[in-house]
Structure 1
């Protein structure tokens, strides 16, 4: 792991602060000052910051952030717009987000210092729940598509103008309810099991409906509740317990999958040998 990332991962310092400490000679490796920003920390290295040892921790830290509108979920923006890393406290600026919320969307965003957790949650079919408002009444066609799913060769409506994604397949919604409706709007709460690029904006865009407001309020049982906008909170003990159970179950499933695959290959090889033997006979 790169030196500044290692320090940020195991101390209270952000990566930027770690860079400054390295530059100032406050970081030592085996009692020698280390100024190599690109140094890759190896097992057995003894890193000190300001004379204090950096103790590696295998603990996972996960936070919930209530992302405001008008903030990007990215490290940098070439147009100079605000990102979540401008808003988050320095100690969280090395955390990785679980998926994204687009610039105009708001609500629950999970971030963690574990890439393994990020990958597991993003690749899962855990339910994501959103409150949204569209600019027209819900039609029977929309209801049918929410119930049955939708396959589009052209899903550009609702997508970003520079997006290279054209076609998209939408799984049936896990749940949806119309919360209020008028002549020129509908407010809904929908639950989906995927996290594709601007999925809901593209879905309703297909029906010429514009999403006016979009707020994620839950992700895999983690709820936003009353967390104020632009504020963070740590996972609760129950949420950590549920996460550890989820990761344990996922590893067990992968182990079983690998074992089954290996057994299938062995059986395939055995069948080939039997066929060869039969031909010889």
Structure 2
């Protein structure tokens, strides 16, 4: 996580220090609305130096202080996309979230049919570190089959699939997927053929749990994330947000400190 303002690409510098996304920054640069030292710059590869004065639409950007971050916990409902825009006009989290969080970045994804804990931050660097981490993710899920010895073995030992398309989005280009051993599995009950589980994994791959159980012919009927690292959903109502507690911020800063050491 070695990151400073010197040598940062212009579009990244803008997204890192303003509410604009990287895509928004690219468009602003292309339209000549970004100046460096009062001169328009259309070079996407321009590396910002400490002495540079960067402005967007004439407004000077003030570089974010190291470690400055705001974190939000959101209980995402089903039927909502984790994306800025959808070309099919479907509801996204930004239709649901208060306007003051319009520029916040989701830490990873929950697919359209999934619900539960979603972290958001105004700091792209922190988002990248959390997304790429091995922090545990905990889910409550229900599948339409009883647990089999084969499922239990794969959850314990891990699994490599050359064809992991079952359970994935039909337009996904991902075929091969490697599943690490689950960190924890709790059996939560049986209702007819349906099985309820609480599982903890250390990755956040594309539809990972749906693909895992899909390999065994089981469909995930319900999927709700209830924990991410040291943060828990608890009783946060659906479609509501809360800020990190002081303790959660303290743990985050300690985690980021360790991440910088290991980078």
- Structure 2: how far apart are the matches of 1:57 and 1:125? 26
Deviation at 1:79, TM superposition (A): 0.4
SS at match of 2:217: coil
- Structure 1: how far apart are the matches of 2:234 and 2:163? 36
Q: TM-score, normalised by structure 2?
A: 0.79
Match of 2:138 in 1: 129
- Structure 2: how far apart are the matches of 1:70 and 1:87? 11
Structure 2, unpaired ranges of 5+ = 1-9, 22-30, 38-50
User: Any conservation in 2 of the 1:147–1:172 contact (CA below 8 Å)?
Assistant: yes
Q: What are the Cα deviations for residues 47-100 of structure 1, in whole angstroms up to 9, with x where unaligned? A: 8xxxxx986652211101110000000111010000011111111111111100
- Of residues 192, 202, 212 in structure 2, which corresponds to 1:193? 202
**Larger relative contact order (C-alpha < 8 A, sep ≥ 6)?**
2
Matches within 5 A, 1:210-229: 210-229=219-238
Note if 1:180 corresponds to 2:189.
yes
User: Any conservation in 2 of the 1:66–1:229 contact (CA below 8 Å)?
Assistant: yes
Higher normalized helix content (fraction of residues): 1
SS at match of 1:214: strand
- Structure 1: how far apart are the matches of 2:221 and 2:71? 30
Match of 1:266 in 2: none
Q: TM-score, normalised by structure 1?
A: 0.74
How many residues get paired? 228
Q: Aligned-pair RMSD on alpha carbons?
A: 2.6
Distance 1:136 1:95, change over 3 A: same
Larger Rg: 1
Match of 2:124 in 1: 115
Structure 1, unpaired ranges of 5+ = 16-35, 48-52, 255-281
Deviation at 1:250, TM superposition (A): 0.9
Note if 1:161 corresponds to 2:170.
yes
- Structure 2: how far apart are the matches of 1:37 and 1:8? 17
- Structure 1: how far apart are the matches of 2:160 and 2:64? 45
- Structure 2: how far apart are the matches of 1:154 and 1:54? 47
